[in-house]
Amino acid sequence: MSAKIGNGDVKPQVCVVGLGYIGLPTAAIIARSGSPVLGLDVTQSVVDTINRGEIHIEEVDLDGLVQGVVQRGLLRASTQIEPADVFVIAVPTPFAKDGHHTPDVSYVQAAASEVAGVLKAGDVVILESTSPVGTTEMMRDLMAGLRPDLKFPGLTRETPDVSIAYCPERVLPGRILEELTNNDRSIGGITPRCARKALAFYKRFVRGTCVTTDARSAEMTKLVENAYRDVNIAFANELSIVADRMGLDVWEVIRLANRHPRVNILQPGPGVGGHCIAVDPWFIVASAPEHTPLIRAARGVNDQKMHHVIERVTQLIDAHPEARIACLGLAFKANIDDFRESPARFVAARIARKYAGRVNIVEPYAQALPVEFTDTGASLIDLDDALETCDLLVVLVDHDVFKVVPLAERSGKVVYDTRGIWPDQPDADTVGTALRLAS
**Looking at 63, 225, 238, 391, which residue binds ligand SAJ (CB under 6 A)?**
225
210 catalytic, yes or no?
Answer: no
Binding span for ligand SAJ by CB under 6 A among 54-62, 208-216, 263-271, 431-439: 263-271
**Could you tell me the end-to-end alpha-carbon distance of the chain, in angstroms, rounded to an integer?**
62
Which residue of the set 15, 167, 210, 276 is catalytic?
Answer: 276
**∠ CA 335-337-339, rounded to 5°:** 115
Binding footprint of ligand SAJ, residue count (CB under 6 A): 20
Q: Is 226 in the site for ligand SAJ (CB under 6 A)?
A: yes
Site map (CB under 6 A) of ligand SAJ, residues 270-289, x = contact: --xxx-xx------------
Contact letters for ligand SAJ, residues 307-336 (x by CB under 6 A): -------------------------xx---
Closest C-alpha among 429, 392, 242 to residue 314: 392
Instruction: State in angstroms the smallest separation of the CB of 419 from ligand SAJ.
Output: 8
Q: Which is nearer to ligand SAJ, 5 or 176 (CB)?
A: 176
Does residue 266 touch ligand SAJ according to CB under 6 A? yes
Instruction: Tell how far CA 57 is from the center of its chain.
Output: 13
Per CB under 6 A, 229 contacts ligand SAJ: yes
Helix, strand, coil percentages in the chain from 3-state DSSP, rounded to 5 = 40, 15, 45
Distance CA 357, CA 371 (A): 16
- Residue with smaller CB distance to ligand SAJ, 12 or 271: 271
Catalogue the E-assigned strands of 31-111: 37-40, 75-78, 86-89
Q: Which is nearer to ligand SAJ, 195 or 347 (CB)?
A: 347
Query: Which residues have C-beta within 8 Å of that of residue 192, sequence separation ≥ 6?
Result: 212
403 is catalytic: no
Q: Is 247 left (phi over 0), alpha (psi -120 to 50) or beta?
A: left
Counting Cβ atoms within 10 Å, is residue 107 exposed (0-12), middle (13-18) or buried (19+)? middle
Which 101-130 positions form the footprint of ligand SAJ (CB under 6 A)? Answer: 130
Catalytic residues: 222, 276
Binding-site ranges for ligand SAJ (CB under 6 A): 130, 169-173, 225-226, 229, 233, 266-267, 269, 272-274, 276-277, 332-333
